[in-house]
Amino acid sequence: MSAIDTEFVDELASYAGLARRAAAAYLSGDLSPYLEVPATEYLDRGGKGLRPALCLATCSAFGGDVEKALPSAAAIELLHTAFLVHDDVEDDSDLRRGEPTLHRKYGPALAINAGDGLAVVALGALRDNERALGRRLAARVWSEFDFMARQTVDGQARELGWRRDGRTDLTPDDYLDLIMKKTCWYTTLLPLRVGALVGSRGALDLEPMLRFGFYLGAAFQIRDDVLNLTGSEAVYGKETLGDLREGKRTLMLIHLLAAASPSDRRQVVGYLALDPSQRSSEVAEHIMTLMDDHGSVAFADEFARGIARAAGVAFEEAFAAAPDSPARRFIRELVTYMVERDR
Amino acid sequence: MSAIDTEFVDELASYAGLARRAAAAYLSGDLSPYLEVPATEYLDRGGKGLRPALCLATCSAFGGDVEKALPSAAAIELLHTAFLVHDDVEDDSDLRRGEPTLHRKYGPALAINAGDGLAVVALGALRDNERALGRRLAARVWSEFDFMARQTVDGQARELGWRRDGRTDLTPDDYLDLIMKKTCWYTTLLPLRVGALVGSRGALDLEPMLRFGFYLGAAFQIRDDVLNLTGSEAVYGKETLGDLREGKRTLMLIHLLAAASPSDRRQVVGYLALDPSQRSSEVAEHIMTLMDDHGSVAFADEFARGIARAAGVAFEEAFAAAPDSPARRFIRELVTYMVERDR
């Protein structure tokens, strides 16, 4: 992480800490330990807090008090955690943030319900916006969350469906369409749009946020997929090659299917036709070697850097109305962070 | 169903049909088939539609136009369906409405995501309340949904936790506390309260609805548990003895644990200590015989009828401000239906 300066890391941790404390407060009180204990577990394990940090910093960059965006930032972190819990069950993953996934620890039933609980608590947090922002602006924020959630579950369905149907005919454009829905809305677009709404008290035109949010979220997701292949398990906190074991249609896999020789391609197609439980570590590592041989990882890495450069340009447009400030600089730095991070 | 008159059955079907069509409309349009197909499946299989019918009839009984309560009724049916989908995964049930459960048909990943999608679409439907009811009343309705959802996931966590911890020391009071959270809020209290809010344009005191809704919901849940033991699979649509196989802490099981001789009790405790996969049909049928021998089913049946009588009294208090009307009579009839129904 040499390219990331420590001031940025401290600011990220500070924003994330604010949001995490607010999120934890919404989970405490009247809930049974059978819900509260599993629901707080991933939050207690930490996490980067990128999403709420982006929301709070955007609010600040457009002249708002971060306090005003705190219920929304807490809701973002809670909903993100809800998605992680359900994703881990859906993918049957082993590790999250360096420890066993929730369903491994508490069983699938309590884990699925904890994910539901996190989503419910997230939406409950948004009710505080009525007091903080007034009924009109609170309703606009709610409508942003509603739209985002619909995109996210729809994107998740597409990805799961591609795997279930054994799709091997996908293009990089299919992948970009998918992550716009599955990742960008909740990771970058919603935090940016809600932060800008709250910071400008509803005055800002949100249109230019679309382009910036898409580039930023795409850079994030592609880097995430690369880290899943090449990252250190201890730093990254998820099982290495997990995506490959799950047959996730990443940019690297799509590249490999297009670039491989007919015989290599047959091996990859055969691998993807297996039931996930039959995909051994040895075979997954062989597919990884094929990706290296065909430059699939380098392709994805360069793709992410290209998109990050485009995000840098789109940032200037989206934040044209925001004067120079620490928060604005933090968001500009985040563009670099997305493709340089190793966790 | 001899005690239920056909006029009531027709009215129930008519309310349910209205809500189901509205619910289906919210699910169509921009969603991927990987989400839309599994998400609409349980709705297409029918279902009684008790919950949205109660909401629409209550709105009408308090002088409102049922159209005004339609987004809320659709949200109730969608959210109910979301709970069913996740419950079926959590309990690993085989049948729902006479056909394989969603996770049996599409796999757990797409099923869990379809449940998430149904919940998201449900909350999206509530946004239409802003136009239909104005921002102020819409916010009150939203806050009712928020409170209810928190109660429901919390109650579900408790029930799953009781099973996971092998609890055999529960009393009928524990059971009633549980179903107040797990069942009554979303089955009766929310439909009543939202119907009354919309029908009276926010003017009605909702306090007396608490008692009526609790009695009505408890009668419903106890009858449901009894049907799971004694109902015909073809009519009831779920696998018979499913609750017993899952080790669900029903009133009958709690009664049996208290009423059984020490040696019979040891058998029951031993049965509950088994992993659900080890609980054979034969042993479940033996536990069922013990319940018959000790009058546990008759006890629960009489308990439900007693609560239904209390509901009849509480109804008059809760609906004191509503003049006689077909809708008011429908709700009064619903009290009887709760304990007489066989599906």
B321 touches chain A (CB under 8 A): no
| Residue keyed to tokens 């009276």 | B200
| Span A139-161, average pLDDT | 96
| Contact between A327 and A60 (Cβ < 8 Å) | yes
What are the structural domain ranges in chain A?
A: 6-336
A125 touches chain B (CB under 8 A): no
Say yes or no to pLDDT of A120 above 90: yes
Tell me what pLDDT residue B234 has: 73
DSSP 8-state secondary structure symbol assigned to residue B65? -
Report the C-alpha gap between A305 and A19 in whole angstroms: 29
Say yes or no to pLDDT of A315 above 90: yes
Tell me what pLDDT residue A196 has: 98
Give me the total of CB pairs closer than 8 Å, taking one residue from chain A and one from chain B.
Answer: 142
A262 touches chain B (CB under 8 A): no
For residue B76, CA distances in Å to A115, A194, B81, B192 come to 20, 27, 9, 11
Cβ neighbours of B124 in A, within 8 Å: 146, 149-150
Say yes or no to pLDDT of B1 above 70: no
| Span B150-169, average pLDDT | 95
A160 touches chain B (CB under 8 A): yes
Question: Is domain A6-336 in CATH 1.10.600.10, yes or no?
Answer: yes
Cβ neighbours of A86 in B, within 8 Å: 112-113, 116
| Span A124-151, average pLDDT | 94
Nearest by CB: A160 against B113, B142, B164: B113
Cβ neighbours of B86 in A, within 8 Å: 112-113, 116
- Using CA coordinates, name the residue in chain A closest to B146: A124
Give per-residue burial for A199-223: e unless 16+ CB within 10 Å, then b: bbeeebebebbbbbbbbbbbbbbbb
B319 touches chain A (CB under 8 A): no
The type of residue at B83 is: F
Tell me what pLDDT residue B343 has: 79
Cβ neighbours of B160 in A, within 8 Å: 34, 109-110, 113
Tell me what pLDDT residue A181 has: 97
| Residue keyed to tokens 């009290």 | B335
Tell me what pLDDT residue B3 has: 61
Q: Do B116 and A156 touch (CB under 8 A)?
A: yes
Number of CB atoms found within 10 A of residue B27's CB: 21
3-state SS record for A56-121 = HHHHHHCCCCHHHHHHHHHHHHHHHHHHHHHHHHHHCCCEECCEECHHHHHCHHHHHHHHHHHHHH
Q: Do A108 and B90 touch (CB under 8 A)?
A: yes
Q: Which of A201, A61, A187 is nearest to A140 (CA)?
A: A201
Q: Do B157 and A117 touch (CB under 8 A)?
A: yes
Cβ neighbours of B120 in A, within 8 Å: 146, 149-150, 152-153
Report the percent of chain A where pLDDT is more than 70.
99
| Contact between A77 and A19 (Cβ < 8 Å) | yes
CA angle A235, A239, A240 (to 5 degrees): 80
Average pLDDT, chain A: 94
Say yes or no to pLDDT of A40 above 90: yes
Banded pLDDT at A3 (limits 50, 70, 90): low
Q: Do B160 and A124 touch (CB under 8 A)?
A: no
> pLDDT tens digits, residue range B249-261?
999 999 999 999 9
Q: Do B124 and A146 touch (CB under 8 A)?
A: yes
Tell me what pLDDT residue B248 has: 92
> pLDDT tens digits, residue range A319-337?
999 999 999 999 999 999 9
Nearest by CB: A120 against B106, B112, B149: B149
Average pLDDT, chain B: 94
3-state class of B42 per DSSP?
helix
Banded pLDDT at A1 (limits 50, 70, 90): very low
Tell me what pLDDT residue A238 has: 79
Query: CATH topology for B6-340?
Result: Farnesyl Diphosphate Synthase (1.10.600)
Nearest by CB: A157 against B32, B90, B150: B32
Q: Do A32 and B154 touch (CB under 8 A)?
A: yes
Say yes or no to pLDDT of A204 above 60: yes
- Using CA coordinates, name the residue in chain B closest to A158: B34
Structure tokens at B244: 């017993």
A34 touches chain B (CB under 8 A): yes
| Span A18-35, average pLDDT | 94
Q: State the complex-level ipTM.
A: 0.93
3-state class of B334 per DSSP?
helix
Beta strands, E only, chain B: 95-96, 99-100
A85 touches chain B (CB under 8 A): no
> pLDDT tens digits, residue range B168-207?
999 999 999 999 999 999 999 999 999 999 999 999 999 9
3-state SS record for B133-144 = HCHHHHHHHHHH
Residues 6+ apart with CB under 8 A from A118: A27, A39, A78, A79, A81, A82, A85
A127 touches chain B (CB under 8 A): yes
- Using CA coordinates, name the residue in chain A closest to B151: A31
Say yes or no to pLDDT of B130 above 70: yes
Banded pLDDT at A87 (limits 50, 70, 90): very high
Q: Which pairs from B39-42 meet CB under 8 Å and 24+ separation?
A: B39/B81, B39/B114, B39/B117, B39/B118, B39/B121, B41/B102, B41/B105, B41/B114, B42/B81, B42/B84, B42/B85, B42/B96, B42/B97, B42/B102
Report the C-alpha gap between B207 and B342 in whole angstroms: 31
Report the C-alpha gap between A67 and A76 in whole angstroms: 15
Tell me what pLDDT residue A281 has: 86
> What is the pTM for the complete model shown?
0.94
> pLDDT tens digits, residue range B222-246?
999 999 888 777 777 777 788 898 8
Tell me what pLDDT residue B188 has: 98
Q: Do B153 and A109 touch (CB under 8 A)?
A: no
| Contact between A213 and A54 (Cβ < 8 Å) | no
Helix axes A251-259, A296-318, angle to 10 degrees: 130
Tell me what pLDDT residue B281 has: 86
Q: What are phi and psi of B250, to 5 degrees?
A: -90, 170
Helical H segments across B182-241, by residue range = 190-199, 207-230, 233-236
Nearest by CB: B157 against A30, A34, A150: A34
Say yes or no to pLDDT of A213 above 90: yes
Report the C-alpha gap between A119 and A82 in whole angstroms: 6
Nearest by CB: A112 against B35, B106, B112: B112
> pLDDT tens digits, residue range A88-108?
999 999 999 999 999 999 999
- Residue to mutate among A26, A110, A113, A137, with most B CBs inside 10 A, is A113
Q: Do B123 and A160 touch (CB under 8 A)?
A: no
For residue A338, CA distances in Å to B217, B224, B250 come to 50, 52, 51
> pLDDT tens digits, residue range B51-96?
999 999 999 999 999 999 999 999 999 999 999 999 999 999 999 9
